[in-house]
Protein backbone atom coordinates (compact mmCIF):
# COMPACT_ATOMS: atom_id res chain seq x y z
CA UNK A 1 0.00 0.00 0.00
CA UNK A 2 1.41 3.41 -0.98
CA UNK A 3 1.13 6.90 0.39
CA UNK A 4 -2.44 8.20 0.55
CA UNK A 5 -3.27 11.10 -1.75
CA UNK A 6 -5.40 13.99 -0.55
CA UNK A 7 -6.68 17.21 -2.04
CA UNK A 8 -5.12 20.21 -0.29
CA UNK A 9 -6.47 23.76 -0.57
CA UNK A 10 -4.89 26.96 0.79
CA UNK A 11 -7.08 30.06 1.12
CA UNK A 12 -5.38 33.24 2.42
CA UNK A 13 -7.70 35.13 4.77
CA UNK A 14 -5.85 38.30 5.75
CA UNK A 15 -3.65 37.53 8.75
CA UNK A 16 -4.17 33.76 8.54
CA UNK A 17 -4.52 31.01 5.97
CA UNK A 18 -7.30 28.43 5.88
CA UNK A 19 -6.04 24.98 4.92
CA UNK A 20 -8.41 22.20 3.87
CA UNK A 21 -7.43 18.57 3.39
CA UNK A 22 -9.96 16.33 1.64
CA UNK A 23 -9.96 12.57 1.17
CA UNK A 24 -11.28 12.07 -2.38
CA UNK A 25 -12.50 8.54 -1.64
CA UNK A 26 -14.69 9.28 1.39
CA UNK A 27 -15.22 13.02 0.90
CA UNK A 28 -14.09 13.64 4.48
CA UNK A 29 -12.70 17.14 4.97
CA UNK A 30 -10.48 18.56 7.70
CA UNK A 31 -10.11 22.33 7.98
CA UNK A 32 -7.55 24.24 10.01
CA UNK A 33 -6.37 27.82 10.32
CA UNK A 34 -2.67 28.59 10.32
CA UNK A 35 -0.05 31.32 10.27
CA UNK A 36 0.67 32.38 6.67
CA UNK A 37 4.34 32.93 7.53
CA UNK A 38 4.78 29.21 8.19
CA UNK A 39 6.09 27.02 5.37
CA UNK A 40 3.33 25.61 3.18
CA UNK A 41 4.67 22.09 3.76
CA UNK A 42 4.20 22.49 7.52
CA UNK A 43 0.61 23.68 7.17
CA UNK A 44 -0.13 20.87 4.71
CA UNK A 45 1.35 18.25 7.06
CA UNK A 46 -0.78 19.49 9.97
CA UNK A 47 -3.97 19.48 7.88
CA UNK A 48 -3.24 15.92 6.69
CA UNK A 49 -2.60 14.79 10.27
CA UNK A 50 -5.98 16.19 11.28
CA UNK A 51 -7.67 14.51 8.31
CA UNK A 52 -6.05 11.15 9.10
CA UNK A 53 -7.17 11.49 12.73
CA UNK A 54 -10.76 12.02 11.54
CA UNK A 55 -10.56 9.10 9.13
CA UNK A 56 -9.23 6.75 11.84
CA UNK A 57 -11.78 8.03 14.36
CA UNK A 58 -14.65 7.16 12.00
CA UNK A 59 -13.51 3.56 11.38
> pLDDT digit string (tens) for 1-54?
457 899 999 999 999 999 999 999 999 999 999 999 999 999 999 999 999 999
Q: What is the pLDDT of residue 5?
A: 94
Count of structural domains, the chain: 1
Question: Is residue 17 one of the residues assigned to a domain?
Answer: yes
Angle at 12 between CA 7 and CA 14, to 5 degrees: 160
* Burial class of 57 by CB neighbour count within 10 A (0 to 12, 13 to 18, 19+): exposed
The boundaries of the domain holding residue 23 are 7-57
Question: Is residue 42 one of the residues assigned to a domain?
Answer: yes
Question: Is residue 16 one of the residues assigned to a domain?
Answer: yes
Q: What are phi and psi of 43, to 5 degrees?
A: -65, -40
CA distance 55 to 22: 10
Question: Is residue 2 one of the residues assigned to a domain?
Answer: no
Question: pTM of the predicted model, to two decimals?
Answer: 0.88
Question: Is residue 41 one of the residues assigned to a domain?
Answer: yes
Question: Is residue 1 one of the residues assigned to a domain?
Answer: no
Amino acid sequence: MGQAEYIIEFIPQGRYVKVSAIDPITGTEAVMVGDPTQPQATLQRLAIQKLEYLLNKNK
